[in-house]
Each structure stands twice: as C-alpha cells, then as structure tokens.
Structure 1
Amino acid sequence: MSENPRETTPSSDDVGPAEPGGPEAGVVLTAGEAEAVVLPENGCRIGSLRIAGTELLRQGARYGSFPMVPWCGRTGYGRFRNGGVVHELPANAAPHAIHGTGRDTVWRQNPGTTDRAVSFCYDLTDPWPYPGRVTQVFELGESELRITMSVEATEDSFPAQAGWHPWFLRNLGRGGEDVTVDFRAAWQEERGADHLPTGNRIEPLRGPWDDCFGMPDGVDVALTWPGELRLRLTSPAEWVVVYDEQPEAVCVEPQSGPPNGLNTAPRLVTPIDPLEVTTVWRWERLG
C-alpha cells in the first residue's frame, strides 16, 4: 500500500504541549553518520534525528517523535473503566483524551549514559489515577535507532498502552521527491465520525489517512525518499496508526493497542507483569 499525498486541514494529532518558555537541555547520541537528540524536559521526545547531516523529523516543540503513554491516540470521551471503577481523563482533544501524559512530562535521566545509549523514566501521577513508572531507552547504531518503553505498576493493576508518534518530514529539503509510505496491513479499523474505531475491521483503504491498521505479525512500514534515503520502521507491536493529512510531515505510529484501546482492548499491567514495547528504525542511504 502506497501513500497518495493530499493536503487537508490539521487534525487533533497536532495537539501537543505548549511551547517551552526557554532553551532546554538535549542529550545527544552519535554513531557514525547518525545523530539523535533526546529532549527529556519536553516529554522525552526525539527532537532531532540526522543522518549524514540530513534531518528526518519535523522540527518544533510539538513535533520530533514523542512517546504515547499510558495510552495511545484517543481515549473515547476521556473515560476508561478498570474493573467497576470509571476514571475521567482531561479532554485535551475534545471530546476525547489524546496521546497520554508522557509527552507533557519532564523525565529523569537514569545512570549509565554512553555516546550511543541513554535511558529516562518518570512516575505516573495525576491526571493518571494509578501509581507506576515509565522507562524509555534509546540505543543508536550507525544504521538504526532502537527505542524500548516499559510501563510498570507499583501498586494496583491498571490497563495501559505505549507507543510512539514520530513526525517524519514529507520532503527532506534537498530538492528530492516527497516520501512514499509502504505497508501491508491485515485490516484497517473502521473510523467513526467521532474519530474512534467502530469495532469493524475493513479492507485497508488508500490514503490520505488518519487511521489505525492491524499487523498481527508485527508492524513493518517502509518510508522512502526516492534517491535519498529509505527507513524501515518495525515493532513487535500489532497496531500502527498512519497519519498523513498535513503537508509538512507523515506519522507512522507503532503502538501496543488501537485508539480507545483502554476501553476496547485493555492490556492489564500488574506489579509482576509490566508492559514493554520496542520499535526499531533502520535506514540506508540511496543517494
């Protein structure tokens, strides 16, 4: 399946934390021609990924590549149930709650940083109703970036999701062609008028997309900037959201469950059974 680019109006995927008030410290990883900058004070997002000096991610405080945790995409009407208890979350993409709390949080750097690897964590707190800890590990190689995120329950069990929301530049700005996005999904989640999955699985449709796809053998998506670079994004996770309705960038979002999954496909995190998700981005230069 290949992308068919088309400019449309921005969606609530563009909702993000406020612009920071001043400069922030980034942690720089380097490996050969690759350089990644992680911004722990801005939601522990990747603020920059450069290959031989070429930036791959859309720049700006709301962009780069941010973690989605402890839920991914929209949680319907800001509510989810855990057993007999219904919890309310802030409707930051009214009427829904979107993309979790991790991207709005300052993360702590863990010991053991090297030129190629670093890890961070933060403690779950309000508005999330359950105590826990989230850890994110970044490992940069000369031709790949591996990211692992885990969610731990420190007291009561709770449903949770984890994933990433990278904003890949549509055009690398060197006079080349726009990116193409290729993948083979087993199904597409039918999207209702409220932007939530209806529960029906349909044959994958052509883009443009703001849609969730099922890949039961693991996420595997290729982004190709013809004549310049190819990046293959993989994950053992079985779900991916593709969002390409803005002219500046395309988003390929591996995640542990579908949008509204806290309600429709809950994955329970317990003190002895954490949630762990990994994604690997591998690239090769074409020019």
Structure 2
Amino acid sequence: MSTDETTQSAASAPASPGVRLAAGDTEVTVRPDNGCRIAGLRVGGTELLRQGDKYGCFPMVPWCGRIAHGQFRNGGELHQMPLNAAPHAIHGTGRDLRWRTARASATEAVFTYDLADPAAPWPYPGRVTQLVELAADGGSLTLTLCVEATGDSFPAQAGWHPWFLRNLGEGGEDVRLDFTPEWQEERGDDHLPTGRRIPPRPGPWDDCFGMPQGVGATLTWPGRLELAVASRAEWAVVYDEQEAAVCVEPQSGPPNGLNTLPRLVTPIDPLEISMTWSWRSPAGDTA
C-alpha cells in the first residue's frame, strides 16, 4: 500500500545541507526543507537509506498510505484531498512542506509545521512536531511525531516511510527481513484494505500488517549489520517491490484509516507515535 513518490514542492526548493546529528560513528542528516525527512543515516561510514529527494525516511502525516478517492469525513463534513496517487491521495501533506527547526543540538532536534500551512490542503488548524533523537553512543535513533489540534477536532494518522537500502554494496548480500505479524490486511485491486484480515502471506509485499503487541521487525545485511525496528504502534506497511530498497513503515492505523478506523485528535488529546531503530554488528557489537 505504498508507492514511489510523486514530485514534491518542498523538494523543488534549493537544496539544503540539512541538520546534522552525530554520536559515536553514526551520522544523521535531517532535511526540514524537504518534508523533514531523514535524508541520511550513516553507521560506521555506511549509508543505510536510499538517497535522493524522494527517499530517505519521511513522516506520513496527517494520514498514512492511501485515502480512498482522496475523501474522508469528519462528522457530517466531507473533505477532498488532492489525488496525488490517482485515484487516491497518499502519504499526507507533511512530506511536501518546509518544516521549521525549533531547536537542535549535537544529538537531538525538534521540527514543526502548521497543519493550516497554505501549501498543505488540510482543512483543520493544528501543529505537527517531529522529535529526532540520536542515542549518546550512536547505537539507536528514535523518531517521535505529535499531531495537535488547535481548533476543531479531526481524524488523523501518523507514521514513517523509510527506504532502507536492499544492498549496502561492497559485494555484500541483500538484506533479509524478519517480522511476525498476527494478521495481514487483505489488499483489494484498488490497493486499499478490504476490511478482511487474513493469515500473513509470503512476499513480495505492498501490504499492511497488524501487530497489536507493537511493531517489531529486523533487517539483516549478512556480515554487515543488523537493524531492529520497534514501535508501540500496532500497524506496519511493508513494501519490498522495488529492487533498490525495502520499506518497513510503522503507523498509527491502516491505509484508508481516516475512513475505516478514525482516531480523533482533539485540543486536549493529541496523537503521538514513536519509532526506534537500533543496530549492531552480526557478532553483537554495536556497529
């Protein structure tokens, strides 16, 4: 339920060196000017994320994956989002915008954008915040998204779409992905969940999975690195249909969830979601 990205207005702006975090032998680059995506994650000099203005790891907010025909209801109001993955709308508005850097240090940075930004066609005022935290030893990275309402309540989702490199080069083997979901959301011909839960099927995938005990997955580049994805979120989309990358996307609800499983954000009840990546060498030492 993912797709390669369309051209984005934020990416058309002049390139920025971004905000750099560093600890141990890890370097993280965040591009607030291009959807606040993690543009680079280098561990021991090796880049783990697919490079390019459309890749890295971008936040999906205020919705994740596809909205059927770009439409959702909030009470009696019907709203239409731009069909940027016709016939649907995909991946929210946050990835298309220039975010503000609220603060930054050597290992932590905070970024925000207003949901009422004129460049973002979202009908409700509010604020989105992303916190990026690199562990002091350089062995893990935690991302946190918070969606706040400053006026009327509205349904929302949040999550991340990372593009992990399938192969790290130097003649190494392709990545191996291990995860154990409780179910798979059956995917219809329109790339949306049908509402039927089925036993997990073998890949390749462009599918949503349920993990009610929290998202957990491990990517292993044999002989190079092992990276664990962990989140208290209960949903993840896995997309591995591209040769260059593998995507494991923790999110607060399934695709089309604004319609099928709405989570209401109110002025006193924001939506918050976190995800942590941690890595080590195959021998067990921190990479």
SS at match of 2:95: helix
Matching of residue 82 in structure 1 with residue 74 in structure 2: yes
Q: CA deviation at 1:116?
A: 0.3
Question: Which residue does 2:130 correspond to in 1?
Answer: 136
Q: CA deviation at 1:57?
A: 0.1
SS at match of 1:245: coil
SS at match of 1:189: strand
Q: Are the structure 2 counterparts of residues 36 and 87 from structure 1 closer, same or farther at C-alpha, using a change threshold of 3 Å?
A: same
User: For 1:260, which of 236, 239, 256 is the aligned residue?
Assistant: 256
1:79-118 matches, within 5 Å, as: 79-111=71-103, 113-118=104-109
Question: Which residue does 2:114 correspond to in 1?
Answer: 123
Cα distance between partner residues in 2 of 1:16 and 1:275: 28
Cα distance between partner residues in 1 of 2:151 and 2:231: 29
Question: Which residue does 2:152 correspond to in 1?
Answer: 156
Question: Which residue does 1:223 correspond to in 2?
Answer: 219
Q: Give the alignment's Cα RMSD to 1 decimal.
A: 1.3
Matching of residue 17 in structure 1 with residue 13 in structure 2: no
Cα distance between partner residues in 2 of 1:278 and 1:216: 15
Question: Which residue does 2:276 correspond to in 1?
Answer: 280
Task: Identify unmatched segments of 5+ residues in structure 1.
Answer: 1-10
Residue identity opposite 1:76 in structure 2: A
Cα distance between partner residues in 2 of 1:102 and 1:136: 10
Q: CA deviation at 1:25?
A: 3.2
SS at match of 2:163: strand
Matching of residue 248 in structure 1 with residue 234 in structure 2: no
Question: Which residue does 2:50 correspond to in 1?
Answer: 58
Residue identity opposite 1:265 in structure 2: L
Q: CA deviation at 1:22?
A: 2.8
Question: Which residue does 1:35 correspond to in 2?
Answer: 27
Count of matched residue pairs: 277
Residue identity opposite 1:122 in structure 2: Y
Equivalent residues of 1:25, 1:41 under 8 A apart:
no
User: For 1:46, which of 24, 38, 49 is the aligned residue?
Assistant: 38
Deviations 1:51-95 (A, max 9, x none): 000000000000000000000000010000000111000000000
Question: Which residue does 1:8 correspond to in 2?
Answer: none
Question: Which residue does 1:213 correspond to in 2?
Answer: 209
Question: Which residue does 1:6 correspond to in 2?
Answer: none
Deviations 1:119-178 (A, max 9, x none): 000000241000000000000021100000000000000000000000000000121100
Cα distance between partner residues in 2 of 1:262 and 1:26: 32
Q: CA deviation at 1:24?
A: 1.2
Task: Identify unmatched segments of 5+ residues in structure 2.
Answer: none
Deviations 1:7-60 (A, max 9, x none): xxxx73333525434321300000101110000000000000000000000000
Cα distance between partner residues in 2 of 1:122 and 1:22: 19
User: For 1:203, which of 199, 205, 208 is the aligned residue?
Assistant: 199
Deviations 1:214-267 (A, max 9, x none): 000000000000000000000000000000000000000000000000000000
1:155-194 matches, within 5 Å, as: 155-194=151-190
Cα distance between partner residues in 2 of 1:87 and 1:140: 38
Cα distance between partner residues in 1 of 2:277 and 2:195: 30
Cα distance between partner residues in 2 of 1:16 and 1:260: 22
SS at match of 2:160: strand
* Matched-pair identity in %: 65
TM-score normalised according to structure 2 size: 0.94
Cα distance between partner residues in 1 of 2:192 and 2:76: 23
